[in-house]
Amino acid sequence: MSSSKTLLVLENFIAGKFVPCSSYIDSYNPSTGDVYCRVPDSGKEEVEAAVRAAKDAFPIWSSKSPLERSQILNKLADLIEHDLEAFAQAESKDQGKTITFARTVDIPRAVYNFRFFASSILHHTTECTEMVAMGCLHYTLRTPVGIAGLISPWNLPLYLLTWKIAPAIACGNTVVAKPSEMTSVTAWMMCKLFEKAGIPHGVVNMVFGTGSKAGEAIVCHPDVPLISFTGSMLTAQCITEKSAPHCKKLSLELGGKNPALIFDDADLNQCIPATVRSSFANQGEICLCTSRIFVQKGIYNEFLKRFVAETKKWKVGNPSDPAVDVGALISKEHLEKVRNYVKKAQAEGARILCGEGVDSLVLPAGNQKGYFMLPTVITEIKDESCCMQEEIFGPVTCVVAFDTEEEVIERANGVKYGLAATVWSSNVSRVHRVAQRLQSGLVWTNCWLVRDLNLPFGGMKASGVGREGAKDSYEFFTEVKTITIKH
């Protein structure tokens, strides 16, 4: 890794080799504001080389048995786990997230993604039906699609990239992947482990660079029949348009404007710390973070008082300090965008109860130029406000009151997104009733971010197209064929 004086310079990983690029872009350490790394600025040429390598590797890789592939995935998981601390340090430095979050969430989940798909690939079955009168037997076969184009965002860099790479290669595809240009380091570190894990050259190719150059080159390449993308709705629209002429298979995991519905009978002792966490974990830079909190009138005042007090306990500062709860936001531009949302809310007459513009932020000497912001709670805000409608993707949450179940369901559904919702109530019938009516791909009741990777993950409405998970990823990363035998 780099010292403070030398820049870390990444290289693309193509056909099992690290290859330099002709031009590079700067990558910043969000907690200091310094350039600390240079990332290849790849384009069509590099993507072409990566696609060629993936094409060459496909026959060997796709003809391996699921068990052979499973063993390799498990080996890679072991190798990442062995270097967990180095990966966590790198992720925290690159993204601005706290070292605690990287150690306990990002990297363990990246390891688990490989273990999970190493196991699940061994347990799929296909279908068989019989037409006795016709003397026919039908069955289905699943085969890998080919070269998978995988494009991931900056908020959970290795976690989300491996959530795509693991099922893609477990199913026998080869890969051209592009992590976010702002957080490429842990993907590059992982490439160093592929050979030792036994991944043949060309099975996973990593091309670093921007979305408009490297990303589009993958999306537009005629030999990449499948794109799995996680990122913003605007980019998803662009990918959909550009890939349409090729009729590519698309999986789109997009943003959210996630509501929490907190009823009078909620257990506030559990609900309040969990909702602070769901609002501000990873600086609010998780697509599943809560950003609209609807609280029933009977407990509204008590909730607000306790919620703000709990929020104020969250310490903002140097992400490498294990006592810190909130690290730096990803970039100067993003910090500015998030701050502007708070300013707009203020201009509309909303009240800021804590955080941005209300409390003062004291930072350590080395972090004065970092992109930090206090967790911010907004109230007295209208449902139509942009802070209640648009994805802010930062440490900002809005709290509003409601009267009835009917009313809150309608208001919770009143946004273009539909990714994740939480419902807090001790009435089991209500929990089922409300969950059933929420327009949301995921509903957590009396908890948040509890995931079983076997089950579908993904959003409704503008939050995405398709689902990922054991069965869903298997279906996405394979083609199904129906075969009929007349006997």
Min dist CB 27 to ligand NAD, Å, is: 12
- Residue 255 or 469 with smaller CB distance to ligand NAD: 255
Are 316 and 374 a contacting pair, CB within 8 Å?
yes
Binding track over 394-433 against ligand NAD, x by CB under 6 A: -------------------------x--------------
Position of minimal CB gap to ligand NAD: 211
Q: Dihedral angle at the C-alpha atoms of 155, 158, 164, 170, nearest 10 degrees?
A: -170
Q: Which of 30, 157, 167, 255 binds ligand NAD (CB under 6 A)?
A: 255
User: Does 153 interact with ligand NAD (rule: CB under 6 A)?
Assistant: yes
Residue 230 binds to ligand NAD (criterion: CB under 6 A):
yes
Question: In this structure, are strands 396-402 and 376-379 parallel, antiparallel, or unpaired?
Answer: parallel
Q: Count residues contacting ligand NAD (CB under 6 A)?
A: 31
Nearest-approach distance from CB 152 to ligand NAD, in angstroms = 6
**Which span sits near ligand NAD by CB under 6 A: 120-128, 233-241, 369-377, 400-408?**
233-241
What lies within 8 Å, CB to CB, of 145 at 6+ separation is 171, 173, 225, 226, 249, 477, 478, 479
The residue length of the chain stands at: 487
Q: How many angstroms separate the Cα of 281 from the Cα of each of 101, 102, 288?
A: 8, 11, 10
239 lies in the binding site for ligand NAD (CB under 6 A): yes
d(CA 95, CA 82): 21
In 3-state terms, what secondary structure has residue 297? Answer: helix
Residue 393 engages ligand NAD in binding (rule: CB under 6 A): yes
Token readout for 54 is 């993936």
Binding letters toward ligand NAD, positions 349-388, x by CB under 6 A: ----------------------------------------
Helices 157-170 and 107-120, interaxial angle, to 10°?
A: 10
143 binds ligand NAD (CB under 6 A): no
Residues 170-189: x/- map of binding to ligand NAD (CB under 6 A)?
Answer: --------x-xx--------
What is the closest distance, in whole angstroms, from the C-beta atom of residue 378 to ligand NAD in the complex?
A: 19
Backbone dihedral region for residue 248 (phi beyond 0: left; psi -120 to 50: alpha; all else: beta): beta
Residue matched to tokens 């109230």: 379
Give the pairing of strands 478-486 and 136-144.
antiparallel
Stretch that binds ligand NAD, among 94-102, 228-236, 305-313, 372-380 (CB under 6 A): 228-236
Residue written as tokens 């805000």? 381
Of residues 286-345, those binding ligand NAD (CB under 6 A): 287
Q: Which of 80, 151, 266, 328 binds ligand NAD (CB under 6 A)?
A: 151
CB nearer ligand NAD, residue 96 or residue 153: 153
Backbone angles phi, psi at 113, to 5 degrees: -55, -45
**Residues of span 259-288 touching ligand NAD by CB under 6 A:** 287
Per DSSP, the residues of 201-254 read TTSEEE--S-IIIIIHHHHH-TT--EEEEES-HHHHHHHHHHHGGGT-EEEEE-
Q: With respect to ligand NAD, which residue has the nearer C-beta, 178 or 292? A: 178
Measured from the CB atom, the residue of 211 and 319 that comes closer to ligand NAD is 211
State yes or no: residue 449 binds ligand NAD (CB under 6 A). Answer: no
Measured between alpha carbons, how far is residue 416 from residues 69, 240, 255, 264 in Å? 40, 18, 10, 27
Strand 290-296 and strand 258-262: the pairing is parallel
| Contact call for residues 184 and 96 (beta carbons, < 8 A) | no
Contact 319, 97 (CB under 8 A): yes
| Residue with Cβ nearer ligand NAD (179 or 355) | 179
Kindly state the smallest distance separating residue 231's Cβ from ligand NAD, in Å: 3
Q: In terms of CB distance, is 100 or 184 closer to ligand NAD?
A: 184
Please identify, using beta-carbon distances, which residue of 230 and 379 lies nearer to ligand NAD: 230
Spatial separation of the C-alpha atoms in residues 438 and 434, rounded to whole Å = 6
Q: Edge-to-edge strands of the sheet including 128-131?
A: 128-131, 136-144, 478-486
Among residues 329, 341, 324, 339, which one has the least CA distance to residue 283? Answer: 329
157-170 vs 185-197: helix axis angle to the nearest 10?
A: 30
DSSP state of 328: -
Select the residue interacting with ligand NAD from 155, 186, 275, 290 (CB under 6 A): 155
- The DSSP output letter for 150 is E
> Binding mask 194-213 vs ligand NAD (x if CB under 6 A, - otherwise)?
----------------xxx-
Of 54 and 219, the one with the shorter C-beta distance to ligand NAD is: 219
By CB under 6 A, residue 113 contacts ligand NAD? no
183 within 8 A of 190, measured Cβ to Cβ? no
Closest Cα to residue 424, out of 327, 334, 307?
Answer: 307
Q: Using the rule CB under 6 A, is 237 a contact of ligand NAD?
A: no
Is 464 a binding residue for ligand NAD by CB under 6 A? The answer is yes
Q: Give 31 or 184: the residue with its C-beta nearer to ligand NAD.
A: 184
Residue 69 vs 221, nearer CB to ligand NAD: 221
Query: Can 253 be counted among the known catalytic residues?
Result: yes
253, 356, 391, 468: the active-site residue = 253
Residues contributing to the site for ligand NAD (CB under 6 A):
151-155, 160, 178, 180-181, 210-212, 215-216, 219, 230-232, 235, 238-239, 253-256, 287, 391, 393, 419, 459, 464
Report the catalytic residues: 253
